[in-house]
Amino acid sequence: MWVKLLVGTLVGMSSYILVSVVTKSQDLNYLLALVREKIRR
């Protein structure tokens, strides 16, 4: 029973992430740039 809930949560999260990436690609690129700066230091 809890496996179904886990799968449902994963699907919901992945779809939410996909929508976020599609709608906020600029913000994502900005965050990636910040992460790269931190990795370099």
DSSP string, the chain: -HHHHHHHHHHHHHHHHHHHHHH-HHHHHHHHHHHHHHHH-
Is the whole model's pTM more than 0.85, yes or no?
no
How is the chain split into domains, by residue range? 2-40
How do residues 1-41 score in pLDDT, each as one tens digit?
789 999 999 999 988 887 777 676 777 778 788 889 888 87
pLDDT at 34: 86
